[in-house]
Amino acid sequence: MEWEDLMPEINRASDPSNMIWKLIDRDTGAENGAISWSFRVRDRIKIRLINEMESDHPMHHPFHIHGAGR
């Protein structure tokens, strides 16, 4: 979702029917709430974010936040 940018038509068209966030556990195939990860304080974890090129709005980087720090 882009809050402050030069693409207002894309922002207006974005809603829960076409904006889908999904976490997938590659080891089990579990998605979102079905994932049963368990972490403790000071555990080191790695999360890989993937932006599929077939998506509606692919970017050259997998994750970004618009308007951060404002």
Tell me the CA distances in angstroms from 11 to 8, 14, 15, 57, one per residue in order: 5, 5, 8, 11
Least confident of 27-31, 55-59, 65-69: 65-69
Residue 69 has a CB neighbour count (10 Å cut-off) of 4
**Which pLDDT band, with edges at 50, 70 and 90, does 13 fall under?**
confident
Residue of 32 and 17 predicted with greater confidence:
32
Contact 25, 37 (CB under 8 A): yes
pLDDT, tens digit (0-9, with 9 covering 90-100), for 36-49: 989 999 999 887 77
Contact 40, 49 (CB under 8 A): no
Query: In percent, how much of the chain has pLDDT > 90?
Result: 21
Alpha-carbon span 39 to 10, nearest angstrom: 37
Q: Domain boundaries in the chain? A: 1-33
